[in-house]
Amino acid sequence: MAYPTTLDDFSGYLANIKYYSRDDLAAIRTAVIALETALGYGGTVPTVNPTASTIAKRDASGNISFNTVNAATGVGVPRSSGTALFAIDGSAFGSTLTIANDATATPFGGTQNFSGMFLINDTTVDGALGMFINGSATILVSQTSTIYTITINTASKINVYAASGAITIQNKTGVSRVLNVVAIRSRAA
């Protein structure tokens, strides 16, 4: 059998053959058993969610352990209780913006393409965290300091507002800021 090094080729078995020999059926049986063994069976069959972002693997007792799948790093190992595991990690996957004083950034692009919830977290000055929702208007839900506003050009603040429909972050704090932005988009606009 070619499997698991390469795929088995059974195409010749189907062309103009009315009867299969014992050896033919044994070859097919061996290939099927090898595939079932590789995929797992009984309580060890892995379960993959539709977006393939997590894989749940069952042990012989049917207990489930979860692995994470990341496009950059592949399948992560299961974590034990007490080990940090983040479903959404804004510090690790390209969400960082550096905004100079008196500058702006559009974290979701320059068009009206976002309706949902987002977090902005300063990583260099004071650790200030702000939670916002955006639908027909941008709303500051909560913050851990008083640094965030939703009004353009407010002095000494990080201003978050919609400009021509695009979410805009304006830094008016007097110093450059490094911000992590994490968003959950519920619809395109």
What percent of the chain has a predicted confidence (pLDDT) above 90? 33
62, 31: one domain: no
- Domain with 47 in it: 42-75
d(CA 24, CA 9): 12
Number of structural domains in the chain: 3
Q: Contact at 8 Å (CB) between 58 and 43?
A: yes
105, 128: one domain: yes
109, 172: one domain: yes
Read off the pLDDT of each residue in 33-42 and give the average, rounded to a whole number.
65
125, 180: one domain: yes
Q: Band the pLDDT of 25: cuts 50, 70, 90.
A: confident
Query: What is the structure's pLDDT at 21?
Result: 72
66, 127: one domain: no
Q: What are phi and psi of 70, to 5 degrees?
A: -125, 135
Supply the pTM of this predicted model.
0.58
Query: What is the structure's pLDDT at 110?
Result: 82
More confident residue, 70 or 18: 18
In a domain, 88, yes or no: no
125, 163: one domain: yes
More confident residue, 124 or 86: 124
d(CA 85, CA 122): 21
57, 71: one domain: yes
Read off the pLDDT of each residue in 134-145 and give the average, rounded to a whole number.
92
Query: Does the pLDDT at position 120 exceed 60?
Result: yes
Query: Does the pLDDT at position 113 exceed 70?
Result: yes
139, 181: one domain: yes
Kindly state the tokens that stand for 169.
């972050």
Query: Does the pLDDT at position 55 exceed 80?
Result: no
Residues 121-130: contacts with CB under 8 Å, at least 24 apart: 121/90, 121/179, 121/180, 121/181, 121/182, 122/147, 122/158, 122/177, 122/178, 122/179, 123/91, 123/96, 123/178, 123/179, 123/180, 124/176, 124/177, 124/178, 125/173, 125/175, 125/177, 128/158, 130/158, 130/160
116, 178: one domain: yes
169, 156: one domain: yes
